[in-house]
Amino acid sequence: MTLRLYNTLHREKQDFTPADPARVTLYVCGPTVYNHAHIGNFRPVIVFDTLFRLLRATYGEANVVYARNITDIEDKIIARAQAENLTIKTLTQTYADIYNAEAGAINALPPTIEPWATAHISEMIEITAALIEKGHAYTGASGVWFHVPGMENYGALSGRKQEDNEAGARVDVSEEKRDPADFALWKFAKPDEPEDAIWDSPWGKGRPGWHIECSAMAAAQLGTTIDIHGGGVDLQFPHHENEIAQSECAHGAPMARFWMHNGFLDMSGEKMSKSLGNVVLLKDLLEDWHGEVIRFALLSGHYRMPLDWTDELLAQAKTTLDRIYGALGRVWEAANVKASDHTVLDALGDDLNTPIALAALSKLAGEANAAAQAGDNKDMATAKANLLAAGHLLGLLQSAPADWAKGEDTDDNARIDALVEARNAARAAKDWAESDRIRDTLKAEGIEIMDSAEGASWRRV
């Protein structure tokens, strides 16, 4: 089957073939870890996890390399670490662990590689040095700058050219720039910045800019030209445009052959974002909803479209999943055979059309019901295999139907693990109110947390 993917770079759906089918490469911009991620932040996680699953099904599990980075050095991280009197490592490890536990609770597979920005500072310095040498960058009073007008094709991804990179909180405002669109590759340390936020460089002590982090990690882990680069649509400009500028000017090769962007998750028609204050945290959702319900809700819209997040969406997802699990339960005892249906795979292969894929999953559930009703053992076995294979592709139906019906299943354990981990993190961050709140929440569910020297464990009482 040929995969069709919408390539933002060319503004159309294209046939996807990897440069090397034995090593298909996918890079997705990961979180900046300094507090809890909201459900909008998990939309790219689920979208690109579904793409990862599709690529693995198409090219073989061992032949797909997915890197999702951790941004563990950034202004907001430094500010939070200083405010809480924590080392940067303690803060970032805490929230990276929480992020991964929460991603696991909505059935996101771990990426093949999780590069941390601070482990790649030397590569960031190398790219910066190459850009200076090639005349694409210059040193100013507060850091090293990439000179945007020096790149002929700048703006090809977003169609935005001379816009001001000063817009946006992540970019320093400075009068030393030769052009307002120039952006920072290296930022010199300011007085009062903590020691663990400072590295040596040929130009002076400091730290990398945000964009160069991804250019360095993608090249170091996956190579100078990767197959697919993904992220939220807000990253298209300036972040991805600047990644392209740095990587292509330094390496003389395209950074990625395909660029994919997920649309926003909205609340009442507005982007969910920390700055607007309309966020719903995944950790809070997991207290009320099973991880698969949340995942199903995230998959219910096409990834390039905005998705409005409502309680009705979650309730609908739960009703549909209950029905599908009910059907799976009716064929659960059937023999194990090979799956024969391709409708879910085909829907995903058409630019990750998850609404059609979920409709196909419901249709398979209908076939399971019909086979069970007719008492046809062969059809029941086929229906079971088809449902499970489709569920594997979509990251759904990972519980036994009986456990799902009880509402107390292995995924629920994962959810509790995530909450206990979140409480550990809150304790490490000295957020006692949060740690007490989580303990009380679990207690109300009949779950007791036991602290010991080895860490926290839990049991149902």
Is 31 among the residues that bind ligand AMP (CB under 6 A)?
A: yes
Q: What is the CB-side half-sphere exposure of residue 157 using CA atoms within 13 A? A: 26
Q: Can you read off the two tokens belonging to residue 393?
A: 């592709």
H/E element holding 206? strand 206-208
Is 272 among the residues that bind ligand AMP (CB under 6 A)?
A: yes
- Residue 264 backbone phi and psi in degrees, to 5: -80, 150
Q: Quick check: bond before 306 cis, omega within 30?
A: no
Instruction: Identify which of residues 70 and 219 has a Cβ nearer to ligand AMP in the complex.
Output: 70
Is 434 among the residues that bind ligand AMP (CB under 6 A)?
A: no
Pick from 44, 143, 150, 238 the residue near ligand AMP by CB under 6 A. 44
Beta bridge pairs of residue 230: 28, 260
Is 67 among the residues that bind ligand AMP (CB under 6 A)?
A: no
Is 231 among the residues that bind ligand AMP (CB under 6 A)?
A: yes
Gap between the Cα atoms of 314 and 310, Å rounded: 7
Q: If we measure between CA atoms, which residue out of 282, 260, 279 comes closest to residue 100? A: 282
Is 282 among the residues that bind ligand AMP (CB under 6 A)?
A: no
Which of the stretches 97-105, 217-225, 267-275, 347-355 binds ligand AMP when contact is defined by CB under 6 A? 267-275
Is 234 among the residues that bind ligand AMP (CB under 6 A)?
A: yes
Quickly tell me which residue has 């590569």 as its tokens: 123
264 interface partner picked from ligand AMP, Zn ion, none, CB below 5 to 8 A per type: ligand AMP
Sign, Cα dihedral of 19, 50, 106, 77: positive
Gap between the Cα atoms of 283 and 294, Å rounded: 11
Gap between the Cα atoms of 1 and 205, Å rounded: 51
The amino acid present at 360, given as its one-letter code, is: A
Q: How far is the CB of 220 from Zn ion (least distance, A)?
A: 13
Q: How far is the CB of 339 from Zn ion (least distance, A)?
A: 36
Q: How far is the CB of 278 from ligand AMP (least distance, A)?
A: 9
Instruction: Identify which of residues 53 and 240 has a Cβ nearer to ligand AMP in the complex.
Output: 240
Q: Would strands 226-232 and 256-262 be described as parallel, antiparallel, or unpaired?
A: parallel
Gap between the Cα atoms of 278 and 337, Å rounded: 47
| 31, 37 contact by CB (below 8 A) | yes
SS3 6: strand
214 interface partner picked from Zn ion, ligand AMP, none, CB below 5 to 8 A per type: Zn ion
Pick from 7, 35, 41, 354 the residue near ligand AMP by CB under 6 A. 41
Q: How far is the CB of 210 from ligand AMP (least distance, A)?
A: 9
31 interface partner picked from ligand AMP, Zn ion, none, CB below 5 to 8 A per type: ligand AMP
Q: Can you read off the two tokens belonging to residue 129?
A: 């040095």
Q: Applying CB under 5 A, which residues contact Zn ion? A: 29, 214
Instruction: Identify which of residues 270 and 448 has a Cβ nearer to ligand AMP in the complex.
Output: 270
Which of the stretches 152-160, 243-251, 269-277, 437-445 binds ligand AMP when contact is defined by CB under 6 A? 269-277
Footprint on this chain of ligand AMP (rule: CB under 6 A): 29, 31-32, 40-41, 43-44, 231-232, 234-235, 262, 264-265, 271-273
